[in-house]
Amino acid sequence: MAEQHFQECIDACNECAVACNHCAISCVDEKNVAVLSRCIKLTLECAAICNAAVQVMSINGELSDHMCQICEDACHRCAEECIRHGDMEHCIICAEKCRTCAAVCARMVVHA
């Protein structure tokens, strides 16, 4: 399979997207949801970018390295925002998955 060398990154992006979606929905259920509006937006954006990156990598797309760069940036931004809400378990988990995904994406860009 052409996408095999992307498999670690695909897996990290999928895990990150799931964590981001879970975080967004969990934030909506929090009492002070207005304070979490940026977190919700960034987690949904990050999940969408991770999913797009998976799609491009899965076809061994020519823009895979660019998608990995964008994904790395999105994951860093999302992790930074989630860590601001470190009293919420879903934000802590999301930040961890985002950091892992960003690191894996960075390695893909270096090897592209």
Please report the sign of the dihedral spanned by the C-alpha atoms of residue 12, residue 18, residue 24, residue 29: negative
Query: Can you give the residue ranges of every domain in the chain?
Result: 2-111
Q: CA torsion, points 14, 37, 30, 73, in degrees to nearest 10? A: 30
Percent of the chain surpassing pLDDT 70: 95
pLDDT per position as a tens digit, 3-45 = 578 999 999 999 999 999 999 999 999 998 999 999 999 999 9
Class of domain 2-111: mainly alpha
Cα–Cα distance, 91 to 103 (Å, whole number): 18
Q: From start to end of the chain, where are the E strands?
A: none
CB 90 within 8 Å of CB 26: yes
Cα–Cα distance, 78 to 97 (Å, whole number): 10
pLDDT band (50, 70, 90) for residue 110: low
